Chain A
Amino acid sequence: MNLRNEVYKTLGFTYRNFIITKRNFFTLFETLFWPVIGLLSVGLMGAYLNLEENYLAFILIGAVTLSVLQVSQLDVAYVLLFDIWSKSLRYTFVTPISIFNMLFGAWLFGALRGFIAFLILLICSEFLFDLNLLIQPFGVLLFLFGIFLSAMIIGTLTCSLLLIFGYRAEVAAWTLTAIFMLLCGIYYPITLLPSGVREIAYMIPLTHFLEFYRSFYNFPASSDNPALMGFLLSFVLLFFLFLILIWALDRARRKGTITQFSE
Chain B
Amino acid sequence: MHSIVCEDVWMVYRSMFSEKVALSGVDLKIPKNKIFGLLGPNGAGKTTLISLMATLLRQTKGRIEVLGYDAIKDLKEIRKRINIASGNPNLIWSLTVYENLRYYSLLYGLNDRKVVEQLIKEFELEEFRNVEFNRLSTGNKQKLILARAFVNDPELVFLDEPTKGLDPPVAKRLREKIQSLQKDLGITVVLTTHYMSEAEMLCDRIAFINRGKIVAEGTKEELKRMLKMRDKITIEVDAKVPEMKLDGVFMVERDGNLLSFYVDSAESRLWDLAKEVAKFGRIKNISVKEVDLEDVFNELAK
Instruction: Give me the interface of A with B, judged by CB distance under 8 Å.
Output: 2, 4-6, 8-9, 11-13, 15-16, 19-20, 23-24, 82-83, 85-88, 90-97, 101, 250, 253-256, 258-259, 262-263
Contact = CB atoms under 8 A, between A and B. Distances in A.
Interface residues of B, number: 40
B106 interface: yes
A259 B57 contact: yes
> What are the 10 tightest A-B residue pairs by CB atom distance, in nearest-first order?
A5-B109, A12-B106, A87-B90, A96-B79, A253-B58, A95-B107, A12-B107, A23-B94, A96-B76, A96-B80
B109 A94 contact: no
Contacts of B109: 2, 4-6, 8-9, 96
Contacts, number: 108
Given A16-B95, A90-B56, A255-B15, A8 B47 contact: no
Nearest to A90: B56
B84 A91 contact: yes
Contact of B95 (A8, A19, A94, A254): A19
A94 B90 contact: no
Contacts of A16: 92, 95, 103
Dominant secondary structure of chain A at its interface with chain B: helix
Given A5-B110, A96-B109, A254-B60, 11 more contacts: A2-B109, A12-B107, A19-B95, A20-B92, A95-B152, A96-B76, A96-B80, A255-B13, A256-B48, A256-B51, A258-B56
Contacts of A256: 13, 48, 51, 57
Nearest to B90: A87
Contacts of B99: 19
B94 A20 contact: yes
Interface in B88-106: 88, 90-95, 99, 102-104, 106
A24 B106 contact: no
A38 to B, nearest CB: 27
A11 B106 contact: yes
B86 A9 contact: no
Contacts of B225: none
B18 to A, nearest CB: 12
A231 to B, nearest CB: 30
Contacts of A93: 56
B95 A20 contact: yes
A8 to B, nearest CB: 5
Interface string B184-199: 0000000000000000
B90 A262 contact: yes
B148 interface: yes
A8 B104 CA distance: 10
Contacts of A255: 13-15
B15 A94 contact: no
Nearest to B112: A8
Contacts of B132: 23
Contacts of B103: 12, 15-16, 19
Contacts of A259: 47-48, 51, 56-57
A86 B86 contact: no
Given A86-B90, A87-B90, A258 B95 contact: no
